Amino acid sequence: MNEKASNYTTIKFNVNNYGIKAGFNPKPFAGTYDQHNSYYANPLASEFGRVVVSNYLINTDHVFLSSDTTRVYDQNDPTQILQTISNYQIDTSTYQFTQVQTTNSKNEKIVQTVTYPNQYNAFGSTGVASLQARGITTYPIEEITQKSNADGSNLRTVKAVYTTYKLNQPFRDSVYEMYSVAGIPIFQLSTAGPKDSHYQPVAVFNTYDTYGNILQEGKVGDAKHTYIWGYNSTTPPYNNSYPIAEVINADTGSVAYTNFEQLRNAGNKWGNWIFNYAGITTDATAPMGAQCYTVSSSNTISRSSLNSASKYVVSLWSKSGAAITVTGGTVTNVATGNAKNGWIYHEYSISGATSVTIGGTGTVDELRLYPSTAQMSTYTYIPLVGMASKCDAKNDITYYVYDNVGRLIQVLDQNQNVVKQYQYNYANSGH
């Protein structure tokens, strides 16, 4: 059996904060309401009604968890109890938890401490200073776990995480970790200066777009993960809403992807491809969403600034009857799939190229470019509902079907065969 008791503390504010309620007096001065008669006797000139305003006090006291006690009882012997007592501290200016001190049944003390931007002096042009300048006070900078012996001695740091942020954007830059089974007795808190020398880098968030979407990230010493975003809003600020491509083992400068879905009619560069918006057309049979592209002499698709020393893969689906060309460097057609719903898959190997152009005539969809050592998965969506389709690294497509209230009801393979089906029923209340 488990038992938990919690205590709370209230921070009182000696400030009178008032709200305002406003509305028309519901009772006319005389007779039935008439928009041409005042609510009040002796109205001001040209006054046909008056708003009543009253103040009320807003209770802004802050209540937070200050301590709790957890007991776990042995079901065979209720006198045997494992007890954990935790005490919580907060920063009274940001109301964030800054420290949790826990004492377990062995009387060992575990102290978890979190620091935030407002606890630092600005270290010149740093990410912390950038957060402070933006008034951001709730992003964690350092999270430390310390542990002591039963007698309170040998307080040592057993785990720590330190996060840095971009100089010109309020987003994570790098993550460092320190972990030690034995613990480190002397550990320098970052509030006292630079981060402790025991930290090791574990993750890097290289690039974001202007809307805060991550474009490239990765664990230190591991493959990079790159993302392409799409589904632009029809109104400013036109932010990309959904990730439409994920690439493993490639950087942002070596990938391109578009499924021609949800693009606004301004500009000519989406997903690192350059093409004329006027070439976008609608075809319900298209493999990835209903939007696709009509290629012609005036509507080509291109990608430049490639590394000629690298080898790339270009893949696309073309509608039967199309005569699509891929030019740039040495191009080898390495795969052509069977027709599915009137569309054929094509895959090309590109080497020695600084640019690639998709030309010819016909309709194309699901246009990818990535290094030959990378893997790409792509997605389409029904905005505000969910994922509509997914094309994996092997170019196998999965479709997702929803009912009219947005619930997933079917998962289909690329041949429209039902893989999973869901049914929703209301429980019988018994009345």
Give 193's pLDDT tier (boundaries 50, 70, 90).
Answer: confident
How many helices and strands (H and E) does the chain possess? 1, 30
Cα 181 to Cα 22, 144, 146, 178, 193: the distances in Å are 62, 14, 11, 10, 25
Mean per-residue pLDDT over the chain, rounded: 88
* Mean of pLDDT values over 35-51: 55
Give me the pLDDT at residue 262, please.
84
pLDDT at 38: 54
Question: Residue 126: its pLDDT value, please?
Answer: 81
Contact present, 377 and 245 (Cβ < 8 Å): yes
Indicate if the pLDDT at residue 30 is higher than 70: no
Strand-pair category, 77-90 with 97-103 = antiparallel
Q: What pLDDT shows up at residue 81?
A: 87
Compute φ and ψ for 232, nearest 5 degrees. -70, 145
Does position 241 have pLDDT exceeding 90, yes or no? Answer: no
pLDDT digits (tens, 9 = 90+) for 249-278: 999 999 999 999 988 777 888 999 999 999
**Residue 152 pLDDT:** 85
Q: What is the pLDDT of residue 232?
A: 83
Q: Name the DSSP class of 340.
A: B
Write down the pLDDT at residue 44: 55
Residue 415 main-chain phi, psi, to 5 deg: -100, 15
pLDDT at res. 90: 93
Q: Say whether pLDDT at 14 is over 80.
A: no
* pLDDT recorded at residue 33: 56
For residue range 126-138, list pLDDT tens digits in order: 889 889 989 999 9
CA distance 304 to 350: 13
Sequence-ordered list of residues with C-beta below 8 angstroms from that of 13, at least 6 positions apart, any chain: 60, 61, 62
Taking domain 222-380, whether its CATH number is 2.60.120 is answered by yes
pLDDT band at residue 9 using 50, 70 and 90 as cut-offs:
very high
Q: What are the structure tokens assigned to 167, written together?
A: 């100089």
Report the distance separating Cα 51 and Cα 22, nearest Å. Answer: 6
The mean per-residue pLDDT over the stretch 38-66 comes to 66
Q: How many alpha carbons lie under 13 Å from residue 163 in its C-beta half-sphere?
A: 17
Q: Are 323 and 294 in contact (CB under 8 A)?
A: no
**Residue 374 near residue 247 (C-beta atoms within 8 A):** yes
CB atoms under 10 Å from CB of 101, counted, come to: 16
Residue 394: pLDDT over 80: yes
Percent of the chain topping pLDDT 70: 88
pLDDT of residue 55: 73
Helix extents (H) in 32-157:
127-133
Longest dimension (CA), the chain: 91
- CA distance linking residue 316 with residue 209, whole number of Å: 26
Between 17 and 277, the more confident residue is: 277
Q: Kindly give, in sequence order, each residue whose CB lies less than 8 Å from that of residue 103, ignoring residues fewer than 6 positions away.
A: 84, 85, 86, 109, 110
pLDDT in tens, 327-348: 999 999 999 988 889 999 999 9
Q: Which of 240, 241, 374, 229 is nearest to 315 (CA)?
A: 374
pLDDT value at position 124?
63
Enumerate residues 6+ apart whose C-beta is below 8 A from 208.
166, 169, 171, 214, 215
Residue 367 has a CB neighbour count (10 Å cut-off) of 25
Q: What is the mean pLDDT of residues 364-390?
A: 96
- Supply the pLDDT for residue 26: 52
Query: How does DSSP classify residue 409?
Result: E
> Residues spanned by CATH 2.60.120 within the chain?
222-380
Q: CA 359, 362, 368, 373 torsion: positive or negative? A: negative
Q: What's residue 122's pLDDT?
A: 62
Please answer whether residues 259 and 291 qualify as being in contact, where contact means their C-beta atoms are separated by less than 8 angstroms.
Answer: yes
From the list 101, 100, 140, the residue with the least C-alpha distance to 120 is 140
**DSSP string across 204-271:** EEEEE-TTS-EEEEEETTS-EEEEEEEEE-SSTT--EEEEEEEEES--GGG-EEE---S--SS-SEET
Closest to 367 in 3D by CA, of 215, 245, 229: 245
pTM: 0.81
Residue 43 reports pLDDT greater than 90 = no
Residue with token string 């575990």? 110
Judge residue 167's burial from the number of C-beta atoms within 10 Å of its C-beta, 0-12 exposed, 13-18 middle, 19 or more buried.
exposed
Structure-token pair, residue 110: 């575990």
CA distance 208 to 365: 26
pLDDT, average across residues 356-361: 97
Question: 27-31, 83-87, 93-97: which has the minimum mean pLDDT?
Answer: 27-31
Percent of the chain with pLDDT over 90: 64
For the record, the structure tokens of 199 come out as 């930290």
Alpha carbons 370 and 306: distance in angstroms, whole number: 10
User: Residues 158-187: what's their mean pLDDT?
Assistant: 92
